[in-house]
Amino acid sequence: MTLGVRTASAVVLVCCAAALFAACGDSAGGLGKSPSSAATASPAATYVSGLLPAAAVDALERYFAAVAAGDAAAATALLTPSSPLRGDPTMGIAALRDVRIERRLFGAPPAGASAMPMVSAWVDGEAASAWGPGSRHDFFMAVTEAPTGMWLIDHMATSP
């Protein structure tokens, strides 16, 4: 009898998962991964403590690499459509080095974000920016995990 209940439960679970994938999929029935569709969806999960998922770390590494290279287009591609960073995706940073992503989370992210990890880096500001002469800064990055699994940066807060 227990085997029958387990089998029935597994069938129900598979059917629910299939229905969820069909509801979230694109017109071909697959999961779409375009940044525009991923970014407009609500966060898939909220990460309050523990380790930051590897895909989120990858998105942050790619974003800060784009900022360090001064590549505004690559940085913009990693932002949500409503991100306030879109106005200046490289944040007025002239040089960036020694980037450290804190993989352990310590608190709840703001509404609309999946996690808010800290990234520490040495920053040299552009002449017209507020960063000033070179110094270490901590960035608290609000990142969002879309239901497709794609991670995007929404906004940030910083400390001197």
- Which CATH number is 58's domain given? 3.10.450
Contact 155, 82 (CB under 8 A): no
Helix (H) and strand (E) counts for the chain? 4, 6
Alpha carbon 7 to its chain centroid, in Å, reads 37
Distance spanning both ends of the chain, measured CA to CA: 63
- Tell whether 23 and 87 lie within a shared domain: no
**pTM higher than 0.85:** no
Let me know whether 27 and 53 are in one domain.
Answer: no
- 25 and 38 in a common domain: no
Query: What pLDDT score does 124 carry?
Result: 83
**Statement to judge: residues 16 and 51 lie in one domain:** no
The tens digit of pLDDT for each residue in 62-91 reads 999 999 999 999 999 999 999 999 999 998
In the chain, the number of structural domains is 2
State which residues of the chain have pLDDT below 50. Answer: 1-39
Task: Output the pLDDT for position 79.
Answer: 95
Rounded CA separation 95/114 (Å): 28
Domain encompassing residue 2: 1-31
Cα–Cα dist 42/113, whole Å: 8
Q: Are 3 and 40 part of one and the same domain? A: no
